[in-house]
Amino acid sequence: MAGESHKIKKAEGETWAARVGNIAWPLAFILGAAVLWEILVRALEIPKWLLPALSVVIVRIGSDAAFLGTHAAYTLYVILSGFLLAIAVGVPIALLISSWKVAEKALYPLLVFSQTVPKIAIAPLFAIWLGMTSLPHILITLLISFFPIVIDTVAGLKSLPLEMIHLSQSMGTTRWQMFRKVRLPFALPFLFAGLKVAITLAVVGAIVGEWVGSEKGLGYVLLLANGQLDTALAFSAIIVLTLMGMGLFFVVWILEKLLISWHVSERLKEIEGL
């Protein structure tokens, strides 16, 4: 018993060490890059308008916190609105494609076509058609972010093993029971994989939308800073946007951990200390 207890404690210690390492290594890399940025700019005496030192950017974020916060709030609204609409549109389309052959043949080419059209090219058209409101920005975010949700959800719904289908049918399950208790739980890891990709694309979509016909948002701040050669403000907006995107990705990741902690992929990660 004492030997087993020692092994359990040793495994727990290794697990915590692995988890700390997963956090420490990225933080160390970011810190090293930040220090290198500061040292190189100071040592090479690079002009502020060309590349400001990180300390200058941080000071600028502090001095313009209210200005950046106002525009960041609008961008966050666009990101979340477009992302939630992408879920509301993408999941039903995925369900339709996975359950009806005609829908798959009819919709798949249209989905691929929607992704080949440059979004920056149609953004001005949305601004003309829908006016100088947030709606064009939300629609661009939707168009950019919904595709991985559809593709990954379809893959999850179609990857159910045939043996599991036969087992469920032999137990007399209805189509609804099959979907609710077998297909949907099995597809959730695929769905969350698509959501993690989609939330990062939603950040890009919001900025693309704000670059055309907007007087609010961090995309507008970037255009303003570039027009005035204010690189400190541009880097400030980029850093705020990056932190926002990382935070949103982390929220989706946490939801994945909470909702599919029962899945074998998550249990394997716990065993391996990930």
Residue where the block lists tokens 């701040």: 221
Structure confidence at residue 65 (pLDDT) = 94
> Does residue 270 lie within any of the structural domains?
no
Evaluate if residue 274 carries a pLDDT over 80.
no
Residue 274 lies in a domain: no
pLDDT at residue 271 is higher than 50: no
SS3 138: helix
Residues 97 and 34 in one domain: no
- Domain check: are 1 and 120 in the same one? no
111 and 209: one domain?
yes
Q: What is this structure's pTM?
A: 0.84
- Give the list of residues 6+ apart from residue 271 with CB closer than 8 angstroms, or none: none
Instruction: Give me the CATH number covering residue 177.
Output: 1.10.3720.10
Same domain, yes or no, for 119 and 244?
Answer: yes
**Angle 267-17-255 from CA coordinates, rounded to 5°:** 40
List pLDDT tens digits, range 155-170: 888 887 777 766 776 7
79 and 32 fall within a common domain: no
pLDDT of residue 55: 92
Burial tier of 232 (Cβ tally within 10 Å: 0-12, 13-18, 19+): buried
Could you give the dihedral angle defined by the CA atoms of residues 22, 194, 208 and 59, in that order, rounded to the nearest 10 degrees?
-20
Confidence tier at 100 by pLDDT (50, 70, 90): confident
Query: Mean of the pLDDT values across residues 70-94?
Result: 95
- pLDDT exceeds cutoff 80 at 136: yes
DSSP-derived secondary structure letter, 197: H
Q: Following DSSP, what letter does each residue of 44-89 receive, concatenated?
A: HT--TTTS--HHHHHHHHHHTHHHHHHHHHHHHHHHHHHHHHHHHH
Q: How confident is the model at residue 88 (pLDDT cuts 50, 70, 90)?
A: very high
- Written as six digits, the tokens of 50 are 């060309």
In a domain, 271, yes or no: no
Shared domain check, 259 and 184: yes
Phi, psi (rounded to 5 degrees) for 137: -70, -40
Phi-psi region of 213 (alpha: psi -120 to 50; beta: other; left: phi over 0): left
Mean pLDDT of the chain: 84
Neighbour tally for 257: CB within 10 Å: 12
Considering only 48-57, 95-104, 243-252, which range has the smallest mean pLDDT?
95-104
Q: pLDDT higher for 9 or 50?
A: 50
Tell me, yes or no, whether 75 and 27 share the same domain.
no
Q: What is the total count of domains within the chain?
A: 2
Q: Which domain holds residue 8?
A: 1-45
Asked if pLDDT for residue 273 goes beyond 60, the answer is: no
The confidence score (pLDDT) of residue 72 equals 96
Indicate whether 248 and 132 sit together in one domain.
yes
- Is the same domain home to 94 and 36? no
Shared domain check, 209 and 243: yes
Co-location of 98 and 118 in the same domain: yes
- The token duo for 236 is 């400030």
41 and 57 both lie in a single domain:
no
